[in-house]
Structure 1
Amino acid sequence: MSVSFSLVLLLGVAVLAALKMRSVTVGAAVVAALFGFYLAGTDAAPTVNQLVVALADAARDIGT
C-alpha cells in the first residue's frame, strides 16, 4: 500500500504544478480527479492497480 500513497502524493503535486504553470485549467483538474474517483469504483480498478504496481516494480528494478 505504500506505493499507492506515494503515487497519490506524486500525482497531486503534478496536478498542483500544472495548475500553477497554467498548463491545465481548474476545470480539467476537477474532471481528471472525478474520473479517477469514479474509475476506482468500477470493475477496472483492480486491473489499473495491477498495472500501476507492475510499472512501479519495473521502475524500481531499473535502478538495481
Structure 2
Amino acid sequence: MAFSISALVFFGLLLAMLLRSKTVGFGAATVAALFGYYLSRTGAAAPIDQVMTAISNAIPSIDK
C-alpha cells in the first residue's frame, strides 16, 4: 500500500514537533518559515522541487 504525503505537510508537522519539544525556539521557527517562503519565490524553487521529486520517486525503490 502506497502512502503519499505532501512535503509541505511533512515539514509543517516536523516543525511543529520541534517547537513542541522545545528543540527549536519560536524565533528560529519563524525565521525558517520565512526563509522557506522567500526561497520558494526565487529561481532556486524549481531545482529544489526537482530534487525533492527525485528523492520521493527513489524511496519506494530502495527496498527492491
Q: TM-score range by the shorter chain?
A: 0.7 to 0.9
Offset of residue 63 of structure 1: 3.9
List gaps (5 residues or longer) in structure 1: none
**Structure 1 outlier segments of 4+, above 6 Å:** none
Is residue 38 of structure 2 the alignment partner of residue 38 of structure 1? Answer: yes
Instruction: Give, as a single letter, the amino acid of the residue that structure 2 aligns with 1:41.
Output: R
List gaps (5 residues or longer) in structure 2: none
Aligned to 2:50: 50
Structure with higher Rg: it is: 2
Distance 1:45 1:62 in 2: 26
Aligned to 1:9: 9
RMSD: 1.4
TM-score, normalised by the number of residues in structure 2: 0.85
Deviations, residues 9-58 of structure 1 (Å, cap 9, x unaligned): 11111000000000000111110110010011101110000010011111
Aligned to 1:59: 59
User: Which structure has the higher relative contact order (CA within 8 Å, separation 6+)?
Assistant: 1
Is residue 23 of structure 2 the alignment partner of residue 23 of structure 1? Answer: yes
SS at structure 1 position matched to 2:22: coil
